[in-house]
Amino acid sequence: MSDSRIARILIVDDEYPQMKALCDALGCEGYETAGFTSGQEALAALQGTSFDLLLTDLTMPGMDGLALLRAAQDMDRQIVGVVMTGHGTIDTAVETMKTGALDYILKPFDLSVALPVLSRALAMRRLRIENAELARKVQDRTTELEATNKALETFSYSVSHDLRAPLRGIHGFASILIEDFSAQMPAEAQRLVNDVRTSARQMNQLIDGLLRLSQLGRWPLSRKSVSVSALVQEVLDELRKEHRDNPIEVKVGDLPDCVGDPTLLRQVFVNLLSNAFKYTRGKEPAVVEIGCRQQAGEEVFWVRDNGAGFDMQYAGKLFGVFQRLHRADQFEGTGVGLSIVQRIIERHGGRVWAEAEVDKGAAFYFTIPNSSPPA
C-alpha cells in the first residue's frame, strides 16, 4: 500500500453502538471504514472488497475475534489485525497476538490511544508488503543469476572444446609446414607461417585466461589461516626456475599470516610476481620486493618492481579484462592476470590498487580482511 492511499479498516463489534461510534470516529480521522456486528458478515464483505486492517472485538457470539482474524487472513494474507478487549481479558488478548493479531485496544476505546495503535499496525503492514516485494525481487534476481551462471558454464564448455579444436589444428598444420616444408618456402613465407603459429598460441592463452576468469565466481572460498611467507617462497622458487637467464634480486620483507583461500591467494602472488619478473626483463639491476605494512588499521601487502612501469593516467584500465598498457612485441601476455587478481581480492572483501611511473617500476597493493577462520 502506498502512503498516498487512504487506509481501509474493517470494523467488527457485536455491539452496534460501539461499532458505529468507531466507524464515525475513524472516518473523521481520514480512514475509510466499513462496520459489521458479526464475523460472518465481515467475511462476506471481505470476499468482494480489499481491506488493510481488521479491527475486531475479541469476545463475540458465534465467531469470536480470533476465529475471524484467522479466517480473514486465510482470505487475504496482507490484512493485519487489531483486537478490542475489556480490562478483564488482557491476558487473552496477548495470547491472541501470539496467533496473528498485531496489537490490542482496551474497551471502552480512547481515540488518542487507539490511533497510534492503528498507525503502527498499518505501518507494519506496509513493511511486510515491501519486504515481500523485496524478497520477490531477490528471488527473481537469484533465478536470473542462476540462469546466467548456467549460460556461462555452457559458454565455458563451448570455449574449452569447440574453439580449442580448430586452434590445435591451425597450430599443428602451421608446425607441419615449418618442420616439413621450410626448405621449400621463401623466408617471407616462413615468417608468415610462424606468425600464424604464434597467433594460435596467443589465442589459446586468451581462452585459458577467459576460462579462469569465468570460473572465479563459482569457485567456493575455503577460508583458513594462510602462511603468506611460505606461499610467496613457493611461488618464487617456481619463478626462479623459469627465469634462470634473467637474474633478479628479490627482497622479501616480513609477511604476516592472513585468513583466506590459499589456492586463490597463491594465484594472486603468481600473477603479481610473474608480472614483476616479466616487466623487469632487461633491467640492470632488476629488483623485485614483496612486503606488508600497516595502513589505516589494516595490513596492506605489496609487490614492487623497478621495471617498465606505466603511465598512471591509464591506471583505470589496468584491471580491465584484456587491457594491456604495453605492446605485445615488448612484453607477452593476455591482459587477464590483473583482472583475476582484482576479482580474487574482492571476493575476500579486500581492495587492490597500483602505483607506477614509466621506466621506474610499478607497485601493486592489496588488503585481506583478517577475520578468524571458521572452526
71-115: pLDDT as tens digits:
998 998 889 999 888 765 667 667 777 767 888 888 888 888 889
Strands in 352-357's sheet, in edge-to-edge order, are 249-252, 287-295, 298-305, 361-367, 352-357
Give 26-40 as a 3 state SS string: HHHCCCEEEEECCHH
Q: What percent of the chain has pLDDT over 70?
A: 83
Strands in 8-12's sheet, in edge-to-edge order, are 32-36, 8-12, 53-57, 80-85, 103-106
According to DSSP, the residues that pair with 249 across neighbouring strands are 287
Least confident residue range of 189-193, 266-270, 331-335: 331-335
What per-residue confidence (pLDDT) applies to 333?
A: 47
The rounded mean pLDDT for the chain is 83
Mean pLDDT of 264-278: 89
Report which of residues 332 and 29 the model is more confident about. Answer: 29
What per-residue confidence (pLDDT) applies to 273?
A: 92
Q: What percent of the chain has pLDDT over 90?
A: 29
Determine the 3-state secondary structure of 20 from DSSP: helix
pLDDT digits (tens, 9 = 90+) for 311-320: 777 667 776 6
pLDDT digits (tens, 9 = 90+) for 347-364: 888 999 988 888 788 899
In contact, 81 and 101? CB cutoff 8 Å: yes
- Per the omega criterion (within 30 degrees of 0), is the bond before 369 cis? no
Burial category of 290 from C-beta neighbours within 10 Å (exposed 0-12, middle 13-18, buried 19 and up): buried
pLDDT digits (tens, 9 = 90+) for 26-79: 999 999 999 999 999 999 999 988 999 999 998 888 888 888 998 998 998 889
Mean pLDDT of 195-221: 73
What per-residue confidence (pLDDT) applies to 87?
A: 63
pLDDT digits (tens, 9 = 90+) for 337-350: 788 888 889 888 89
Helix orientation angle between 187-216 and 111-158, rounded to the nearest 10 degrees: 150
Mean pLDDT of 235-242: 87
Mean pLDDT of 233-254: 86
Mean pLDDT of 110-138: 90
